[in-house]
Amino acid sequence: MPFGGEFWLANFAAGGFPLTAVTTCPDPNMFCAVVRGAGYTVRVDDPQLWSGVRAHPVEQVIPDLEHELLLLADFTRIVAYGAGGLVWSASFVLDGLKILSRTGTSPSIPAGTRCPRVPAPFGGYTDLAPIR
């Protein structure tokens, strides 16, 4: 709720998956809600301005404070949202994608995964490296 703003109540459509979470976004006027796998970004000062996220069903939500990104992962994709919205998206040829950790600018994913090059948060590309 923005300081001095009016109270409002949110009602989200749910997916049929286990994850439910609420987190802040890199834009301080936004939050991200995941309701049983269905993800949404919403402006706190104008809740009529909302959008579905580009990952479904959302399996993981990982704030990256160092790079001011919010990472969301589904079974085959990772998307990164910054203060201006979607920053990058990477799709993988596998089922059951899971981010294990993040070091520097590279999230780590399980060994045996075909690893693409994805846009780096601040330009160029980064290799996603499997955990060994």
Q: What are the pLDDT tens digits along the chain (132 aa)?
A: 556 778 888 889 898 999 999 999 999 999 999 999 999 999 999 999 999 999 999 999 988 888 899 999 998 888 999 999 999 888 876 656 566 555 555 555 555 555 555 545 444 444 444 433
pTM for this entry:
0.74
Separation CA 53–CA 15 (nearest Å)? 13
Q: Is the peptide bond before 57 cis (omega within 30 degrees of 0)?
A: yes
d(CA 17, CA 57): 7
